[in-house]
Structure 1
Amino acid sequence: MRILICPDKFAGTLSAPEVAAAVVAGWRESAPGDELVVRPLSDGGPGFVEVLATAVPGRRVPVRTVDPLGRAVDGEILLTADGTTGYVESAQACGLHLLAPDERDPKRTTSYGLGALVAAAVESGVRRVVIGLGGSAVNDGGAGLLAALNAAPVDGTGLALPYGGAALLAADGLAGPPQTRGVELVAATDVDNPLTGLTGASNVYGPQKGASREDVLLLDAALERFAGVLERSLPSCPPGLAGLPGAGAAGGLGAAVLALGGHCESGIGLVSRLIDLEAAVEAADLVITGEGSFDHQSLRGKVVAGVAGAARDRGLPCVVLAGRVSAGRREAAAAGVTETHSLVDHFGGEPHGGVARAMANPADGLRALAARLAGQWSR
């Protein structure tokens, strides 16, 4: 059999390539004669650069940057072999995983570190920078990113504002024109939320980043004001910025990209095209995908839904491996999912410590599940 293994990350435990490696190891224990094709995936969130590096000819360039609280961290740029495109990832500098739970406060976290990565990509001489958006700890509308590009928000007296979303309530202009050297910017994301309002960045994603209800209202008002500043200050900024689809991605980082004249593109669509996922699905007998939590949101444009839909359209079975499964069986089947298997159930479920064991030993659990599946599915 020809098995296509194309998982997303298991957030907080394994990267997509690590998930794929565990599945490969388990499958080979039971069915060593099968052909295994590995295509790790990402929708633009954590692991975006690592996944692309497995398929895009080029080199990874380390870049020293800062986390959402200004502490030094390591990031990188993936530069294509022809030198035309640079790929960067917001989660490397703005990721929620970089902060302890008691450090999460979107009123003061900044996207400056992502701006440093973008600036490094621009200075490398590329003509296009693709920014994977997702998993961020910020809600500053990309104000920090702009500051790293020489366009920091300032108050009415011309003084630079402190970092963080709350300070944008006093935004009145930008310190200068952004230094992007005419490079094309692309935001890779599968989030289509606007910047503000009930479905905006603050209301939908603020609470998971540490925002209280009062914080959400403050941050939404701050982003509304900042959107007006960007429209007045940047000729490249489209009108009605706060309401544009994708502007609310990653705490409003999508809005900054749009204001700089860039555009949003489907993250999973971009990755699938670069790794030629369609051809890999076409040639497969069975497709295995997965993610940390397979729930109702998974069926709304995320990696697993895209893979399952492609398999369904070709009449192929698609098996989902996940840390936890809570999506409805009928909904999953309609999306193209043939079977689901969870690490929590594999390790005994609750109240027997299934969640804790799944988090502690995800690779072991995936190997065991894959070995069992190979015994069931392999010819």
Structure 2
Amino acid sequence: MRVLIAPDKFAGTLTAVQAAEAIAAGWRRQAPGDDLDLAPMADGGPGFVDVLHAALGGELSAVTVSGPHGSPVPAVVLRVGDTAYVESAQAAGLHLTSGPSGSDSGDVGTGDAGTGHVETATSAGVGELVLAAVEGGATTVVVGLGGSGTNDGGAGVLAALGATADCVLDGGPAALAGVTSVDLAPARARLAGVTLVAASDVDNPLTGLFGATKTFGPQKGLAEDRIAEVDGWLESFAAATDRRTSLEKGAGAAGGIGYALLALGATREPGIALVAEAVSLASRARAADLVVTGEGAFDFSSRAGKVPYGVAGIASEALRPCVALAGQVLVGSREMRALGIESAYSLVELVGEERALGAPAEALADLAARVARTWSR
């Protein structure tokens, strides 16, 4: 039996590569004769560059950029031909701030040395990553969006690329209060001749009921009673910059970094589709008998551009069944099938939360072995 294993990361515990290897190890234990094809996936969030490097090869260049609160953080630029790939989470990720974990999903870490509140967190380091890619000779720069700990509308990105305003652009959303004028011309001039692609894992606009602040702000540490004011700052920023673009799908991705890129002329591409094409997932699914995917928390938000939904869609087009392994399964069977998943299996239900977090690779392998008993021939 041929099994395609295409999971996302299990946020906070396993990278996508580690998750795929753990699933394969458990599957082989139960069904050693099966032919396993490992295709770690990403949706634009954490792990985006690693997955693409594993699939495409290319050259990794180490750079140091500004973290969300000013301290230097390490990041990499992946260069494949004339195209460079960068990951917003490396420069502005939730793991670099003091915010709690959540969707737009990142991993919680210790934060950079100047860690502070989301209202003062800047995305400037992402702009520095784009600039490093351009200065390295790339004519196309693909920016993976997701897992951010910032909510500044991408103002920091614009500042790092040379935009100016009648306020401080790289001081977080609080610094945007009262903004009335933003000049994007210097940033656009700096990117002349460069094609920008925003690889987004969400469809949200920048502001409003479904915008970046309302949807993702609380998961980054923003108090409920601060949402309206912070969203108002981004409304003012959009009015001074490019109001129409702020309404586009993906403008609210990564706390508004998507908006900054779109305002500079970027095209938007779903991150899962970009990665699926890079790893030739469709042809690999057609060659398989079963597709296995997974992520840390499988819930109905997985429909919004997340890996399991994207992988299940490709499996469906190939007329192959798809099952999911997850840290937690938070949907019922009806919702599961609406997402294109035949069955979903919970790590926490099998081994308990303590072991799932304490020994995630071993626990995931155990779960995979159990699933293989049901699905392998």
Does the pair score TM above 0.5?
Answer: yes
Alpha-carbon shift at residue 57 of structure 1 (Å): 3.0
Question: Residue 279 of structure 1 aligns with which residue?
Answer: 283
Q: Does 1:165 align with 2:177?
A: no
Superposition pairs of residues 216-235 of structure 1, within 5 angstroms: 216-231=227-242
Query: Residue type of the partner of 1:173?
Result: V
Structure 2: segments with no counterpart, 5+ residues:
101-114
From 330, 333, 350, the equivalent of 1:329 is: 333
Cα 1:333–1:175 change in 2 (3 A) is: closer
Aligned equivalents of 2:184 and 2:71: distance in 1? Answer: 24
Alpha-carbon shift at residue 307 of structure 1 (Å): 1.4
Question: Residue 235 of structure 1 aligns with which residue?
Answer: none
Contact 1:16 1:51 (8 Å CA) reproduced: yes
Deviation per CA, 1:276-326, whole angstroms, max 9, x where unpaired? 100011000111100000111113432111212222333322121000001
Q: Does 1:44 align with 2:47?
A: no
Q: Does 1:368 align with 2:366?
A: yes
Question: Residue 110 of structure 1 aligns with which residue?
Answer: 122
Question: Residue 260 of structure 2 aligns with which residue?
Answer: 256
Question: Residue 120 of structure 1 aligns with which residue?
Answer: 132
Contact 2:158 2:184 (8 Å CA) reproduced: no
Question: Residue 216 of structure 2 aligns with which residue?
Answer: 205
Question: Residue 20 of structure 1 aligns with which residue?
Answer: 20
Q: Does 1:316 align with 2:325?
A: no
Contact 1:299 1:332 (8 Å CA) reproduced: no
Contact 2:271 2:305 (8 Å CA) reproduced: no
Cα 1:356–1:99 change in 2 (3 A) is: farther
From 321, 341, 348, the equivalent of 1:344 is: 348
Cα 1:371–1:162 change in 2 (3 A) is: closer
TM-score, length basis structure 1: 0.90
From 144, 149, 154, the equivalent of 1:132 is: 144
Superposition pairs of residues 138-177 of structure 1, within 5 angstroms: 138-155=150-167, 160=168, 163-171=171-179, 172-174=181-183, 177=186
Alpha-carbon shift at residue 133 of structure 1 (Å): 0.4
Query: Residue type of the partner of 2:301?
Result: Q
Query: Residue type of the partner of 2:84?
Result: G
Aligned equivalents of 1:61 and 1:99: distance in 2? Answer: 24
Contact 1:12 1:97 (8 Å CA) reproduced: no
Superposition pairs of residues 60-99 of structure 1, within 5 angstroms: 60-80=60-80, 82=81, 84-99=82-97
TM-score, length basis structure 2: 0.91
Alpha-carbon shift at residue 161 of structure 1 (Å): 5.1
Contact 1:189 1:264 (8 Å CA) reproduced: yes
Contact 2:98 2:117 (8 Å CA) reproduced: no
SS at match of 1:227: helix
Structure 1: segments with no counterpart, 5+ residues:
232-238, 348-353
Alpha-carbon shift at residue 176 of structure 1 (Å): 6.3
Aligned equivalents of 1:20 and 1:85: distance in 2? Answer: 26
SS at match of 1:129: strand
Contact 2:20 2:40 (8 Å CA) reproduced: yes
Question: Residue 214 of structure 1 aligns with which residue?
Answer: 225
SS at match of 1:289: strand
Aligned equivalents of 1:150 and 1:330: distance in 2? Answer: 50
Question: Residue 350 of structure 1 aligns with which residue?
Answer: none
Query: Residue type of the partner of 1:318?
Result: C
Aligned equivalents of 1:375 and 1:198: distance in 2? Answer: 45
SS at match of 2:371: helix
With 114-123 and 182-191 compared, the bigger mean Cα shift is at: 182-191
Question: Residue 104 of structure 2 aligns with which residue?
Answer: none
Aligned equivalents of 1:175 and 1:267: distance in 2? Answer: 26
Contact 2:251 2:257 (8 Å CA) reproduced: yes
Bigger Rg, which one: 1
SS at match of 1:292: strand
- Alignment length (residue pairs): 360
Contact 2:156 2:170 (8 Å CA) reproduced: no
Alpha-carbon shift at residue 104 of structure 1 (Å): 5.6
Deviation per CA, 1:325-379, whole angstroms, max 9, x where unpaired? 01111121233212211110111xxxxxx22321222111111112223333333
Contact 2:69 2:121 (8 Å CA) reproduced: yes
Aligned equivalents of 2:6 and 2:170: distance in 1? Answer: 42
| C-alpha RMSD of matched pairs (Å) | 1.7
SS at match of 2:73: strand
Alpha-carbon shift at residue 50 of structure 1 (Å): 0.6
Aligned equivalents of 1:100 and 1:13: distance in 2? Answer: 18
Cα 1:169–1:18 change in 2 (3 A) is: same
